[in-house]
Amino acid sequence: MPLRNRWKSFIDRETPAAWLLAAPALLGLLAFVALPFLLALALSFTDLRMGSPLPVEWAGLEQYARILSDPGFLHALRNNAVFAAVVVPLQTALALGLALLLDRPLRGMVVFRTLFFLPVVFPMSLVAVVWILIYAPGTDGLMNAALATLTLGAWEPVDFLHDPRWALPAIMLLSIWQGVGFQMVILLAALQGVPQTLHEAARLDGAGPVRRFWHVTLPQLRNPLIFVALVTAILAFRLFDQVQIMTQGGPLDATTTVM
């Protein structure tokens, strides 16, 4: 039988079973993702007040025009964009570095992996309260005390959460610390899936550690890195919890976000 006919026969035989197995997941995606998204998109073109007896009025693009011309929204969008532009590359690079360090067959490595992943398990409300204490003004705060010690007293204490210059960077640091463990686990699993034969072949060809990482490891991590960066970017534009708990959008709207 020609290859084309055999392939067509295989597709015809396997397709119904594949669709049957995928049907529950597809129905779930349609019911809980696609349908709510389409309904929300349709409602965005209307003037609807929940619980109001007034009929729904068609607004068209009027609401989009109003929000895109609102200086407050544009400022909040800028804060989200700056947050994402800083957090996404830094958190991804740090997660990759930690994954490379922890991808070693050493005794006790599981303990270190658990410790780095632990902040992900804690609720953001608890993490934010702890970091409020860390960022406390004066020498009472751990951050100010540590920086003063490292600089031999040259550091002037800063009120991180009430200074417009420092509030957003402070939340960035917290977010990177809290979320890097999740990305680290994904990249660590991807690293352990890289075939060792590729490293051995590169080593036999005389490639050093840097060249092996650049030409062997990194290409194998392309898809996981893209996934990690996309997830981090999505979470960056959904920034809300730590801002609401720590600064409530202040000071002077320095941490206001679109959420």
Summarised one tens digit per residue, pLDDT across range 20-36 is 888 888 899 999 989 99
Q: What is the DSSP string of 192-219?
A: HTS-HHHHHHHHHTT--HHHHIIIIIHH
Cβ proximity of 258 and 76 under 8 Å: yes
Predicted local confidence at residue 241, as pLDDT: 92
Predicted local confidence at residue 14, as pLDDT: 60
State residue 47 phi and psi, 5-degree precision.
-105, 90
Predicted local confidence at residue 5, as pLDDT: 55
Determine which helix (DSSP H) or strand (DSSP E) holds 229, and give its type and residue range. helix 222-237
Q: Is pLDDT of 128 > 80?
A: yes
* Cα separation, 91 vs 13, whole angstroms: 45
In 3D, which of 254, 243, 232 has the Cα closest to residue 179? Answer: 232
Report all structural domains of the chain as residue ranges with CATH numbers, in order of start: 10-63 (no CATH), 70-253 (1.10.3720.10)
Predicted local confidence at residue 208, as pLDDT: 84
Summarised one tens digit per residue, pLDDT across range 90-126 is 999 999 999 999 988 778 788 888 898 999 999 999 9
Summarised one tens digit per residue, pLDDT across range 40-81 is 888 888 887 777 777 777 888 888 888 888 899 999 999 999
Where b means 16+ CB within 10 Å and e means fewer, 185-204 reads bbbbebbeebeeeebeebee
Determine which helix (DSSP H) or strand (DSSP E) holds 47, and give its type and residue range. strand 46-47
Question: How far, CA to CA in Å, does 83 sit from each of 145, 230, 231, 233?
Answer: 26, 14, 14, 9
Torsion 149-153-159-161 (CA) sign = negative
The residue ranking higher by pLDDT, 57 or 11, is 57
Cβ proximity of 87 and 175 under 8 Å: yes
Question: How far, CA to CA in Å, does 46 sit from each of 29, 53, 61, 66, 68?
Answer: 25, 15, 9, 13, 17
pTM of the predicted structure, to 2 decimals = 0.82
Predicted local confidence at residue 2, as pLDDT: 54
The region that residue 58 occupies, defined by phi over 0 for left and psi between -120 and 50 for alpha, beta otherwise, is beta
Summarised one tens digit per residue, pLDDT across range 185-240 is 999 999 988 888 887 888 888 888 888 888 888 888 999 999 999 999 999 999 99
| pLDDT band per the 50, 70, 90 thresholds, residue 4 | low
Give me the amino acid identity at 203. R
* Cα separation, 73 vs 111, whole angstroms: 44
Q: What is the DSSP string of 97-155?
A: HHHHHH-S--TTHHHHHHHHHHHHHS-HHHHHHHHHHHT-SGGGSHHHHHHHHHTTT-P
